[in-house]
A and B are shown apart, each in its own frame.
Chain A
Amino acid sequence: MDDKELYFWRGPLPETQALPPDAAPEPWGETRVVGKPVTRVDAYDRVSGSAIYPSDVILPDMLHAAVLTCPHAHALVKKVDTAGAEKMPGVRAVLKDGMPGTNVPWFQGRGGFSSRLFDPHCRYEGDEVAVVAADTIYQAWDAVRAIDVEYEVLPHAVTVEDAMKPDAPGLRDGGNVPPAAKPYERGNVAEGFKAADVVLEQTYTTPCELHNPMELHGCVAKWDGPRLTVWESTQGVYAVQSGVANALKLPLANVRAIGPYMGGGFGSKLETGKYSVMAALLARKTGRPVRLFYTREQVCRSMGNRPANTISLKVGAKRDGTLVALESRAVGTGGAYAEDGTGGVDYLIRELYTCPNVRCENSSALTNAGPQRAFRAPGHPQGAWALESLMDALAARLGMDPVELRLKNVPAASQTRNGVPYSTTGLADCLREGATAFGWAEARGRRPAPSHIKRGVGVAAGMWQGGAGGPPSTAIVKLFPDGSANLNMGASDIGCGTKTWGAQIVAEELHVGLDRISVEHADTGTTQFATPSGGSKTVPTESPAIRSAALDVKRQLLSMAAEQLKVPAADLDLRGGEIVSKADPAKKLGVGQVQAFGRRGVLVGVGYRGPNPQGKATNPFGAQFAEVEVDTKTGEIRVLRFLSAHDSGRVLNEKMFRNQVNGGVTMGIGFGLTEERVMDRQLGKLLTANLHDYKMPTALDAPADKTVIAIDPHDTFCNTGAKGLGEPATIPTAPAIANAVFHATGLRVTDAPMSPARVLRAMAALKPAPAGRKGEE
Chain B
Amino acid sequence: MSHDEQGKPAATATGVSRRGFITSVGSGAIGVAAAGALVKGAPPSPPPDTLKAGDLSAVTITVNGRRHQVLVEARWSLLYVLRDRLGLTGTKIGCERGECGACTVLIDGKARYACMTLAVEADGHEVTTVEGLMQGEELGPVQQAFAEDDAFQCGYCTPGQVMAAEGLLRENPSPTIEDVRHGMAGNICRCGAYAHIFTAVVKAADLKRGGR
Q: How far is the CB of B127 from chain A (nearest CB, A)?
A: 14
Q: How far is the CB of B193 from chain A (nearest CB, A)?
A: 6
* 0 or 1 for each of A714-751: is its CB under 8 Å from B? (1 = yes): 00000000000000000000000000000000000000
* 0 or 1 for each of A263-304: is its CB under 8 Å from B? (1 = yes): 110100000000000000000000000000101100000000
* 0 or 1 for each of A692-727: is its CB under 8 Å from B? (1 = yes): 100011111011101000000000000000000000
A50 and B147 contacting across the interface, CB-CB below 8 Å = no
Contact of B198 among A43, A212, A704 (CB under 8 A): A704
In the assembled complex, the Cα of A43 lies from the Cα of B154 at a distance in Å of 10
Chain A: interface secondary structure? Answer: loop
B96 and A702 contacting across the interface, CB-CB below 8 Å = no
A664 CB-CB contact with B under 8 Å: yes
Which stretch, A51-59, A223-231, A312-320, A383-391, touches the partner chain B?
A51-59
A697 in contact with B83 given A52-B89, A214-B156, A264-B156 (CB within 8 Å): no
* B contact residues, total (Cβ < 8 Å): 60
* 0 or 1 for each of B123-141: is its CB under 8 Å from A? (1 = yes): 0000001110010000100
A663 CB-CB contact with B under 8 Å: yes
In the assembled complex, the Cα of A667 lies from the Cα of B188 at a distance in Å of 11
Chain B: interface secondary structure? Answer: loop
Across-interface contacts of B184 in A (CB, < 8 A): 699
In the assembled complex, the Cα of A42 lies from the Cα of B177 at a distance in Å of 27
B192 and A702 contacting across the interface, CB-CB below 8 Å = yes
Across-interface contacts of A666 in B (CB, < 8 A): 189, 191-194
Across-interface contacts of A52 in B (CB, < 8 A): 89
In the assembled complex, the Cα of A632 lies from the Cα of B129 at a distance in Å of 44
Across-interface contacts of B102 in A (CB, < 8 A): 214
In the assembled complex, the Cα of A681 lies from the Cα of B77 at a distance in Å of 35
Q: Which residue of B lies closest to A670 (CB)?
A: B192
Across-interface contacts of B198 in A (CB, < 8 A): 699, 704
A496 CB-CB contact with B under 8 Å: yes
Contact of B193 among A50, A263, A659, A691 (CB under 8 A): A659
B170 CB-CB contact with A under 8 Å: no
A527 CB-CB contact with B under 8 Å: no
Contact of B146 among A47, A295, A667 (CB under 8 A): A47
Which stretch, B6-14, B29-37, B157-165, touches the partner chain A?
B157-165
Q: Which residue of B lies closest to A43 (CB)?
A: B147
Q: How far is the CB of A213 from chain B (nearest CB, A)?
A: 6
Q: How far is the CB of B153 from chain A (nearest CB, A)?
A: 3
Q: Which residue of A lies closest to B154 (CB)?
A: A495
Contact of B148 among A39, A56, A664 (CB under 8 A): A39
In the assembled complex, the Cα of A264 lies from the Cα of B80 at a distance in Å of 22
Q: Which residue of B lies closest to A694 (CB)?
A: B99
In the assembled complex, the Cα of A152 lies from the Cα of B74 at a distance in Å of 37
* A contact residues, total (Cβ < 8 Å): 61
Across-interface contacts of B147 in A (CB, < 8 A): 39-40, 43-44, 46-47
In the assembled complex, the Cα of A703 lies from the Cα of B193 at a distance in Å of 11
A138 CB-CB contact with B under 8 Å: yes
Contact of A495 among B83, B92, B96, B191 (CB under 8 A): B191
B181 and A704 contacting across the interface, CB-CB below 8 Å = yes
B177 and A50 contacting across the interface, CB-CB below 8 Å = no
* 0 or 1 for each of A645-686: is its CB under 8 Å from B? (1 = yes): 000000000011011101111110000000000000000000
Across-interface contacts of A655 in B (CB, < 8 A): 150
Q: How far is the CB of A495 from chain B (nearest CB, A)?
A: 3
In the assembled complex, the Cα of A52 lies from the Cα of B88 at a distance in Å of 11
In the assembled complex, the Cα of A479 lies from the Cα of B28 at a distance in Å of 82
A691 and B99 contacting across the interface, CB-CB below 8 Å = yes
Q: How far is the CB of B124 from chain A (nearest CB, A)?
A: 23
A257 CB-CB contact with B under 8 Å: no
B159 and A696 contacting across the interface, CB-CB below 8 Å = no
A702 and B143 contacting across the interface, CB-CB below 8 Å = no
A262 CB-CB contact with B under 8 Å: yes
Across-interface contacts of B87 in A (CB, < 8 A): 58
Contact of B188 among A665, A690, A696 (CB under 8 A): A696
Q: Which residue of B lies closest to A667 (CB)?
A: B192
B187 and A495 contacting across the interface, CB-CB below 8 Å = no
A496 in contact with B195 given A50-B90, A215-B92, A266-B190 (CB within 8 Å): no
Q: Which residue of A lies closest to B159 (CB)?
A: A49
Contact of A214 among B91, B92, B178 (CB under 8 A): B92
B182 CB-CB contact with A under 8 Å: yes
In the assembled complex, the Cα of A600 lies from the Cα of B143 at a distance in Å of 41
Q: Which of A1-43 contact B (CB under 8 A)?
A: 37, 39-40, 42-43
A261 CB-CB contact with B under 8 Å: yes
In the assembled complex, the Cα of A665 lies from the Cα of B191 at a distance in Å of 10
Q: Which residue of B lies closest to A37 (CB)?
A: B150
A216 CB-CB contact with B under 8 Å: yes
In the assembled complex, the Cα of A665 lies from the Cα of B192 at a distance in Å of 8
B185 and A699 contacting across the interface, CB-CB below 8 Å = yes
B194 and A699 contacting across the interface, CB-CB below 8 Å = yes
Q: Which residue of B lies closest to A708 (CB)?
A: B195
A263 and B194 contacting across the interface, CB-CB below 8 Å = no
In the assembled complex, the Cα of A25 lies from the Cα of B150 at a distance in Å of 31
B76 CB-CB contact with A under 8 Å: yes
Q: How far is the CB of B139 from chain A (nearest CB, A)?
A: 6
Across-interface contacts of A692 in B (CB, < 8 A): 97, 99
A706 and B195 contacting across the interface, CB-CB below 8 Å = yes
In the assembled complex, the Cα of A48 lies from the Cα of B198 at a distance in Å of 18
A366 CB-CB contact with B under 8 Å: no
Across-interface contacts of A700 in B (CB, < 8 A): 181-182, 185
A137 CB-CB contact with B under 8 Å: yes
B197 and A662 contacting across the interface, CB-CB below 8 Å = no
B75 CB-CB contact with A under 8 Å: yes
Q: Which of A173-222 contact B (CB under 8 A)?
A: 212-216
A47 in contact with B143 given A55-B93, A214-B94, A706-B195 (CB within 8 Å): yes
**What are 20 A-B interface contacts by the 8 Å CB criterion?**
A47-B130, A48-B134, A53-B92, A58-B89, A138-B75, A213-B190, A214-B154, A216-B94, A263-B92, A295-B96, A296-B100, A494-B154, A495-B153, A495-B155, A659-B196, A666-B191, A691-B99, A692-B99, A697-B192, A699-B182
Q: Which 10 A-B pairs have the closest CB atoms?
A: A49-B90, A666-B192, A263-B156, A46-B155, A495-B153, A495-B154, A663-B192, A56-B89, A691-B99, A43-B147
Given contact pairs A214-B102, A295-B96, enumerate 19 new A-B contacts (beta carbons under 8 Å): A42-B155, A43-B147, A44-B139, A47-B139, A48-B90, A48-B130, A49-B88, A49-B89, A49-B129, A138-B76, A213-B154, A215-B92, A263-B157, A296-B96, A296-B99, A667-B190, A691-B97, A691-B100, A700-B185
By a beta-carbon cutoff of 8 Å, the part of chain A in contact with chain B is 37, 39-40, 42-53, 55-56, 58, 136-138, 212-216, 261-264, 266, 293, 295-296, 494-497, 655-656, 658-660, 662-667, 690-692, 696-700, 702-704, 706
